[in-house]
């Protein structure tokens, strides 16, 4: 028997003969197909937008959602034509494989449609290709659902209705793309009027195109009329198909919408959690700033002393032993001078990490200042303390690479033992420091325990004491000056005096190598008076050179308790004929805080004398601004640790806040350790008054300062 697919031939455009079947589609089926077309066409794009949100969670879920939606849309478009076929008043044809094949093609076609329409940018080539594919798909669907109606009877084809039908199908493709573009631009999640109208016309065009293609088939034989039972069966079958598909569409829409809402709520909860974590982190950062050294992450001096006090109290009650180790880097100044302060900072960070790596969980360590660290370790014997110290020496002396250079760094350690070498915190640290000097004098890279002999006089202290007596008379002391620049015009407006010792055997020594010994042995006042007199000579030279500059000098902590210091300083200024406005003292914030009970009296006398005070290294200790505002100070110098990471928003905010509060209190602000352009930009932006550091010049001799004044003028 010939198949209906082999009975095609084209007829001329002539009036149908009386034997030609007049095609009729039941209005009920037409309305049902329109409803089934409008709802999915209007809803699919909002569903697509919901599925697109799933792509942020999982690409697999996103792809699966697209497949499901494309199957629903493809099945709905295919079912529209099936309903129209059932609406023809002829007995229903048997199901053919070609019908199922067209269903699969429909699903695949609309999967490509979703993939294309989901793109942020769709090319014209992609649009035209899909319109062509969609036209071919609809034509295949209509053909597979029209030809079976011929029931293997002979028929002819009229070309003009097919041509019109193809035009309408092309328009349906264009309108579907316009729906997707409209929804993509507006990002709507509900069906709006424009999408609904476009969906209505698209559905009508589907119906008309099917009717045109159906009308193009001219059947030349008589057909059996449809019985009432067959008509009822077709209506029930059509309703079942429509209700099932509509239920699937509504269920899919609300399921995806609910799922995306759940995901959004989960994201909101995650954002709230992130916000809480950030607040906690900020709180932790503030706590860390108050208790930890910003450079190394170890306890700062204040926090270490508090923890040390608690540890001492526990050890007294439990009758436990402690080893207090004072640790100092050997030749740290050499690294700073040759590689710069940034390299020196990196070296301190590396040393800190190595110290932590060899310590036990119950050991206590902090950075006391500069390149000095202090360790408190519970021990059972002196041998255990020596073992800990030896392990630290071995770990630190391993080569370190900084800025492409290998630094062979060593440390010296001084150890005092509780309760043998003292019962109080200050005494134990002082004795450990004394033992440290012995280690320095013994060739460095070694450790020494405190002993009664060291308490009386160490060999190194005796040598320094002897040399320091003659250093002034032999003109071995000299001053370097570091320029202080006004940031608004980059002019030098002040100098900081830094004392140096040209030792005949050890070369140039910076204060950290002899001031502590001078303080310990009572020579610091002698050094300070020499520095003041030397500054007075240089101030007069500046005035004679018509380049007046204020010069500041660091003040020793011991001077706070020395009633003769201020009168002696005033006597030198008056004797040299130097106005007090050109001279001022600098006191470290940590020194003021440690002597906060005695400092007010000293500062009051200083204020009465007319000599101004600058707070040095502000931010390195834990003093209060409320306390500082009661003191007669004119200026703060920000500690260089505050500018270590000027690109960090939190660090920048801290610097900005300190500058703003200082200005509110009437203080000028100088930033120390300025080396980078980013730091200069931040300080200028926050209206910092002055700056000093390698970006503006290293400490140099007075003669070189005179030469450089013309450069910054």
Give the residue with greater pLDDT, 389 vs 623: 389
Question: Do 241 and 203 reside in the same domain of the chain?
Answer: yes
Cα four-point dihedral sign 18, 19, 20, 26: positive
- Give the pLDDT mean for 9-25: 45
- Give the pLDDT mean for 626-632: 70
Is residue 4 one of the residues assigned to a domain?
Answer: no
Question: Do 517 and 397 reside in the same domain of the chain?
Answer: no
Query: Which among 565, 553, 638, 551 is positioned nearest to 598, based on CA atoms?
Result: 565
CB 195 within 8 A of CB 179: yes
- Given a cut of 50, is residue 495 above it in pLDDT? yes
- Give the pLDDT mean for 310-314: 91
Give the residue with greater pLDDT, 150 vs 239: 239
What's the confidence (pLDDT) of residue 392? Answer: 92
- Given a cut of 70, is residue 54 above it in pLDDT? no
Ramachandran region of residue 372, left (φ > 0), alpha (ψ -120 to 50) or beta?
Answer: beta
The CB density around residue 256, as the number of other CB atoms within 10 Å, is 21
**659: containing domain:** 474-712
pTM of the entire predicted model? 0.42
Tokens representing residue 176 in the block: 């579907």
- Pairing between β-strand 550-554 and β-strand 583-588 as defined by DSSP bridges: parallel
pLDDT in tens, 506-559: 888 888 778 877 775 667 888 899 999 999 999 999 999 888 999 999 988 778
What's the confidence (pLDDT) of residue 371? Answer: 87
CA 491 to CA 155: how far, in whole Å? 102
Which residues pair with residue 551 across a beta bridge?
495, 583
The CA angle 549-551-554, to the nearest 5 degrees, is 165
CA 205 to CA 169: how far, in whole Å? 7
CATH code of 573's domain: 3.20.20.450
Question: Do 171 and 305 reside in the same domain of the chain?
Answer: no
Give the residue with greater pLDDT, 579 vs 342: 579
Is residue 676 one of the residues assigned to a domain?
Answer: yes
- Report the chain's terminal Cα–Cα distance, integer Å: 111
pLDDT winner (highest mean) among 44-48, 289-293, 439-443, 694-698: 694-698
What's the confidence (pLDDT) of residue 5? Answer: 38
Confidence of residue 461 (pLDDT cuts 50, 70, 90): low
Question: Do 444 and 578 reside in the same domain of the chain?
Answer: no
Confidence of residue 67 (pLDDT cuts 50, 70, 90): confident
Helix (H) or strand (E) holding 555: none
Question: Do 440 and 541 reside in the same domain of the chain?
Answer: no
Question: Do 189 and 323 reside in the same domain of the chain?
Answer: no
Of 136-140, 397-401, 494-498, minimum mean pLDDT range:
397-401
Is residue 281 one of the residues assigned to a domain?
Answer: no
Is residue 277 one of the residues assigned to a domain?
Answer: no
- Pairing between β-strand 405-407 and β-strand 491-503 as defined by DSSP bridges: unpaired
- Give the pLDDT mean for 268-272: 73
CA 111 to CA 69: how far, in whole Å? 8
CB 590 within 8 A of CB 617: yes
Last residue of a domain, one of 234, 250, 266: 250
3-class secondary-structure state, position 523: coil
Question: Do 482 and 605 reside in the same domain of the chain?
Answer: yes
Question: Do 306 and 352 reside in the same domain of the chain?
Answer: yes
Of 401-405, 429-433, 496-500, minimum mean pLDDT range:
401-405
Is residue 280 one of the residues assigned to a domain?
Answer: no
- Given a cut of 90, is residue 442 above it in pLDDT? no
Of 62-71, 101-110, 218-227, 345-354, minimum mean pLDDT range:
218-227
Cα four-point dihedral sign 419, 421, 425, 429: negative
Tokens representing residue 109 in the block: 């076609």
Query: Which among 124, 120, 126 is positioned nearest to 49, based on CA atoms?
Result: 120
CA 444 to CA 665: how far, in whole Å? 46
3-class secondary-structure state, position 476: coil
Confidence of residue 486 (pLDDT cuts 50, 70, 90): very high
What's the confidence (pLDDT) of residue 20? Answer: 47
- Give the pLDDT mean for 316-325: 90
The CB density around residue 169, as the number of other CB atoms within 10 Å, is 25
CA 365 to CA 297: how far, in whole Å? 11
- Give the pLDDT mean for 340-357: 88
Confidence of residue 53 (pLDDT cuts 50, 70, 90): low
Tokens representing residue 197 in the block: 């109208």
Question: Do 305 and 222 reside in the same domain of the chain?
Answer: no
Q: What are the residue ranges of helices labelled H in 20-158?
A: 27-54, 59-87, 97-117, 124-144
Of 136-150, 295-309, 653-667, minimum mean pLDDT range:
136-150
Is residue 263 one of the residues assigned to a domain?
Answer: no
Is residue 267 one of the residues assigned to a domain?
Answer: no
- Give the pLDDT mean for 479-504: 92
CA 665 to CA 52: how far, in whole Å? 56
pLDDT winner (highest mean) among 78-82, 118-122, 178-182: 78-82
- Given a cut of 80, is residue 576 above it in pLDDT? yes
Question: In the predicted model, what is the mean pLDDT of the chain?
Answer: 80
What's the confidence (pLDDT) of residue 2? Answer: 40
CB 559 within 8 A of CB 525: yes
- Given a cut of 50, is residue 7 above it in pLDDT? no
CA 520 to CA 500: how far, in whole Å? 18
Is residue 15 one of the residues assigned to a domain?
Answer: no
- Given a cut of 70, is residue 256 above it in pLDDT? no
CB 347 within 8 A of CB 335: yes
The CB density around residue 100, as the number of other CB atoms within 10 Å, is 12
Query: Which among 465, 559, 478, 556 is positioned nearest to 517, based on CA atoms?
Result: 465
Last residue of a domain, one of 418, 450, 482: 450
Give the residue with greater pLDDT, 180 vs 410: 410
Last residue of a domain, one of 250, 281, 315: 250
Question: Do 103 and 180 reside in the same domain of the chain?
Answer: yes
Residue 293 dihedral angles phi and psi, to the nearest 5°? -70, 125
CATH code of 366's domain: 3.30.70.270
CB 612 within 8 A of CB 584: yes
What's the confidence (pLDDT) of residue 423? Answer: 85
Question: Do 372 and 513 reside in the same domain of the chain?
Answer: no
What's the confidence (pLDDT) of residue 536? Answer: 96
Tokens representing residue 441 in the block: 């004098």
CA 641 to CA 296: how far, in whole Å? 10
Please state the length of the chain: 713
Q: What is the DSSP letter of 415?
A: E
Tell me, rounded to whole angstroms, the distance of Cα 80 from its chain centroid.
55
Question: Do 325 and 193 reside in the same domain of the chain?
Answer: no
Residues 6+ apart with CB under 8 A from 420: none
Residues 6+ apart with CB under 8 A from 232: none
Q: Domain tally for the chain?
A: 3
Give the residue with greater pLDDT, 223 vs 324: 324
- Give the pLDDT mean for 406-423: 87
- Given a cut of 60, is residue 293 above it in pLDDT? yes
pLDDT in tens, 366-380: 998 888 999 999 998
């Amino acid at each position: 028997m010939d198949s209906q697919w082999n009975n095609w031939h084209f007829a001329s455009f002539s009036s149908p003969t009386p034997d030609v079947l007049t095609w009729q589609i039941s209005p009920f089926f037409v309305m049902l197909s329109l409803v089934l077309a409008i709802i999915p066409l209007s809803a699919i794009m909002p569903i697509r937008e919901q599925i697109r949100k799933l792509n942020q969670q999982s690409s697999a879920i996103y792809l699966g959602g697209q497949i499901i939606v494309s199957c629903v849309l493809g099945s709905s478009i295919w079912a529209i034509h099936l309903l129209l076929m059932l609406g023809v008043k002829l007995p229903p044809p048997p199901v053919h494989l070609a019908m199922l094949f067209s269903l699969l093609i429909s699903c695949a076609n609309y999967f490509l449609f979703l993939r294309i329409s989901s793109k942020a940018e769709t090319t014209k080539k992609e649009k035209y290709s899909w319109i062509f594919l969609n036209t071919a798909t609809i034509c295949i669907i209509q053909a597979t659902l029209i030809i079976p109606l011929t029931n293997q009877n002979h028929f002819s084809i009229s070309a003009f209705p097919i041509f019109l039908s193809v035009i309408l199908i092309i328009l349906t493709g264009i309108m579907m793309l316009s729906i997707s573009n409209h929804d993509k631009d507006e990002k709507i999640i509900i069906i709006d009027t424009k999408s609904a109208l476009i969906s209505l016309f698209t559905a009508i065009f589907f119906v008309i195109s099917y009717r045109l293609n159906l009308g193009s088939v001219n059947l030349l034989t008589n057909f059996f009329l449809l019985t009432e039972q067959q008509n009822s069966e077709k209506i029930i079958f059509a309703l079942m198909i429509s209700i099932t598909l509509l239920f699937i569409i509504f269920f899919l829409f609300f399921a995806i919408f609910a799922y995306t809402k759940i995901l959004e709520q989960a994201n909101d909860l995650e954002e709230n959690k992130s916000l809480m974590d950030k607040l906690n982190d900020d709180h932790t950062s503030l706590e860390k700033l108050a208790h930890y050294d910003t450079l190394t992450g170890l306890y700062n001096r204040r926090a270490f002393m508090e923890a040390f006090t608690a540890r001492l109290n526990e050890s007294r009650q439990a009758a436990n032993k402690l080893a207090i180790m004072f640790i100092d880097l050997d030749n740290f100044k050499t690294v700073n001078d040759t590689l710069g302060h940034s390299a020196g900072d990196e070296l301190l960070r590396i040393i800190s990490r190595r110290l932590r790596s060899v310590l036990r969980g119950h050991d206590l360590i902090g950075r006391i200042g500069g390149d000095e660290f202090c360790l408190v370790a519970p021990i059972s014997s002196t041998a255990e303390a020596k073992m800990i110290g030896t392990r630290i020496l071995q770990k630190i002396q391993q080569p370190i690479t900084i800025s492409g250079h290998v630094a062979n760094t060593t440390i010296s350690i001084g150890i005092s033992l509780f309760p043998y070498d003292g019962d109080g915190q200050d005494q134990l640290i002082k004795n450990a420091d004394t033992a440290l000097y012995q280690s320095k004098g013994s060739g460095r890279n070694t450790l020494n325990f405190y002993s009664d002999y060291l308490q009386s006089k160490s060999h190194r202290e005796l040598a320094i004491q002897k040399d320091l007596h003659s250093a002034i008379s032999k003109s071995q002391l000299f001053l370097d000056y570091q320029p202080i620049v006004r940031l608004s015009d980059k002019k030098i407006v002040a100098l900081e005096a830094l004392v140096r010792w040209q030792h005949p055997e050890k070369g140039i020594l910076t204060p950290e190598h002899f001031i502590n010994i001078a303080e310990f042995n009572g020579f610091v006042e002698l050094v300070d008076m020499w520095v003041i007199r030397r500054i007075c000579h240089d101030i007069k030279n500046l005035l004679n050179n018509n380049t007046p500059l204020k010069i500041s000098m660091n003040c020793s902590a011991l001077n706070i308790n020395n009633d003769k210091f201020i009168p002696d300083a005033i006597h030198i200024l008056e004797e040299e004929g130097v106005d007090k406005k050109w001279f001022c003292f600098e006191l470290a914030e940590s020194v003021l805080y440690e002597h906060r009970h005695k400092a007010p009296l000293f500062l009051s006398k200083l204020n009465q004398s007319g000599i101004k005070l600058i707070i040095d290294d502000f931010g390195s200790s834990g003093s209060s601004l409320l306390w500082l505002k009661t003191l007669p100070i004119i200026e703060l110098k920000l500690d260089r640790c505050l500018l270590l990471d000027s690109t960090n928003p939190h660090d920048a905010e801290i610097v900005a806040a300190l500058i703003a509060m200082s200005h509110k209190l009437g203080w000028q602000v100088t930033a120390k350790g300025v080396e980078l352009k980013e730091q200069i930009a931040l300080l200028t932006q926050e209206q910092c008054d002055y700056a000093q550091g390698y970006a503006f010049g290293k400490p140099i001799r007075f003669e070189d300062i005179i030469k450089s004044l013309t450069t910054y003028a």
